C-alpha cells in the first residue's frame, strides 16, 4: 500500500471515496445494527472485488458485473442465504446511489439471487423442549471432589442460573429474535400485564404477550438475580447481562442454550418452535405474523409447511394402517 494511504473497512480509502460508503453507512442508521454491519461489510467486499477488476466507481457498474459477482460468490462456496443477503445489500446501495444522483440508472433493478432458504425451520420436540426449559438443575453445585464455592460465588452462580431460566423461557414464550432479547430494556417489561416490548428489524417496536411462567422467572431475575451481578459500568436499562456486567450478547445466548439443550440447538430454534406450536394449536396465521414481527405474511407461511410435515410424521408413526 502506498505511504499515507488509509483503509476503510479493509479497502483503500482512495478506492472507497467515489463510492461514498460512509454516507451510505449513515443512511443505513435506521436499520437494525446487525443489518447495518452486514450491509456495510457486504459493500466493502464488493468494492474491493470490483477494484481488482478495474471498476472504481458506482457509475461503472453494470447489471452484468453484478451477476458475475453473485456467480463468483457461489463458486466460492457461500451459502445461499449469504448470497441473497449480499444481493439485498447491493440493491439497497444502488437504489440509494440512484436517488442521490450518483448514477443515471440502477443496475441492480432486476438483480436476483438464490432463495435464502431451501429447508424448513428446525423445531424442537416436546421432550427436547422440556429438557431445555426445565433441565437447568441446581446452580452452584460443586463438581464431585471439589470444595463448595464460597457464599458470594455461589450467590452469583445462582443469579446467572435465574437469568438462564429467564432467557430460554422468554425466547420460547414470546418467539423474539436473539438480537431483540439482547437489546431488551427494563422499560420494555410490563410484567403486571404480561407483555414485553422489543425493538425489531427496521427499528419497529412490537408488544408481545408472555405466559405466566415466563413472567415469574423474569420477575425473579430482575428483582433478585440482576442486582447481584450488575456493576458500576452496567447499562442501567439492560435486562440481561453477561458475566462482565455488560449487556448480554448473541454469543452469550448461544452458550446458555448450548449448556441446557440435550441436542445441538441454535437459539433461533425456540422462535421456530413457538411459531409452529401456536399454529398447531389453531392460532391465526396473521396473529403469529404480528407476534413474530414479520413484514410479510409469506415469511410466516413457512411455519404452516412445518406443521404439515409434523402432521404427516405423526400420522405415519401412529396410524395403525399408515
Which of the residues are catalytic? 177, 201, 268, 271, 294, 303
How big, in percent rounded to 5, are the helix, strand and coil portions of the chain?
60, 5, 35
Q: What are the E-state strand segments in 117-257?
A: 189-190, 195-199, 205-209
Beta carbons within 8 Å of 52's beta carbon, 6+ residues apart: none
What's the CA angle centered on 194, arms 191 and 198, to 5 degrees? 80
Own/partner contacts of 147-152, CB < 8 Å, gap of 24 or more, are none
- Residue in the block written with cell 435506521: 30
C-alpha cell at 220: 425473579
SS3 262: coil
| CB contact at 8 A, 152 and 218 | no
Q: Could you give the dihedral angle defined by the CA atoms of residues 305, 308, 309 and 314, in that order, rounded to the nearest 10 degrees?
A: 160
- Contact between residue 21 and residue 44 where contact means Cβ atoms under 8 Å apart: yes
Return the bridge partners of 11, or none: 8
In whole angstroms, how far apart are CA 272 and each of 76, 125, 159, 200, 312?
30, 11, 28, 16, 18
Compute the distance between CA of residue 177 and CA of residue 39 in angstroms, rounded to an integer.
Answer: 19
- Please state the separation of Cα 112 from the chain's center in Å: 23
Amino acid at each position: 500500500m502506498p505511504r499515507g494511504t488509509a483503509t476503510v473497512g479493509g479497502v483503500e480509502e482512495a478506492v472507497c471515496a467515489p463510492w461514498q460508503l460512509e454516507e451510505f453507512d449513515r443512511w443505513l442508521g435506521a436499520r437494525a445494527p446487525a443489518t447495518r454491519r452486514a450491509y456495510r461489510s457486504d459493500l466493502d467486499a464488493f468494492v474491493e472485488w470490483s477494484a481488482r477488476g478495474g471498476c472504481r466507481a458506482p457509475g461503472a457498474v453494470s447489471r452484468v458485473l453484478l451477476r458475475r459477482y453473485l456467480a463468483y460468490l457461489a463458486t466460492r462456496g457461500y451459502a445461499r442465504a449469504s448470497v441473497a443477503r449480499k444481493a439485498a445489500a447491493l440493491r439497497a446501495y444502488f437504489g440509494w446511489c440512484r436517488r442521490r444522483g450518483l448514477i443515471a440508472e440502477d443496475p441492480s433493478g432486476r438483480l436476483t439471487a438464490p432463495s435464502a432458504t431451501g429447508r424448513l425451520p428446525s423445531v424442537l420436540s416436546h421432550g427436547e423442549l422440556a429438557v431445555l426449559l426445565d433441565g437447568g438443575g441446581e446452580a452452584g453445585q460443586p463438581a464431585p471432589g471439589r470444595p463448595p464455592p464460597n457464599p458470594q460465588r455461589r450467590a452469583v452462580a445462582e443469579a446467572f442460573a435465574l437469568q438462564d431460566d429467564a432467557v430460554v423461557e422468554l425466547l420460547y414464550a414470546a418467539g423474539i429474535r436473539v438480537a431483540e432479547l439482547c437489546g431488551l430494556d427494563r422499560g420494555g417489561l410490563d410484567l403486571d400485564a404480561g407483555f414485553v416490548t422489543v425493538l425489531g428489524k427496521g427499528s419497529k417496536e412490537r408488544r408481545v404477550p408472555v405466559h405466566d411462567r415466563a413472567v415469574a422467572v423474569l420477575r425473579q431475575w430482575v428483582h433478585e438475580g440482576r442486582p447481584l451481578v450488575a456493576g458500576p459500568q452496567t447499562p442501567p436499562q439492560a435486562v440481561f447481562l453477561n458475566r462482565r456486567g455488560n449487556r448480554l450478547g448473541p454469543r452469550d445466548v448461544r452458550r446458555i442454550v448450548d449448556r441446557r439443550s440435550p441436542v445441538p440447538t441454535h437459539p433461533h430454534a425456540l422462535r421456530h418452535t413457538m411459531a409452529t406450536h401456536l399454529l398447531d394449536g389453531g392460532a391465526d396465521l396473521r396473529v403469529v405474523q404480528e407476534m413474530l414481527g414479520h413484514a410479510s405474511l409469506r415469511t410466516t407461511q413457512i411455519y404452516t409447511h412445518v406443521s404439515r410435515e409434523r402432521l404427516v410424521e405423526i400420522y405415519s408413526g401412529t396410524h395403525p394402517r399408515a
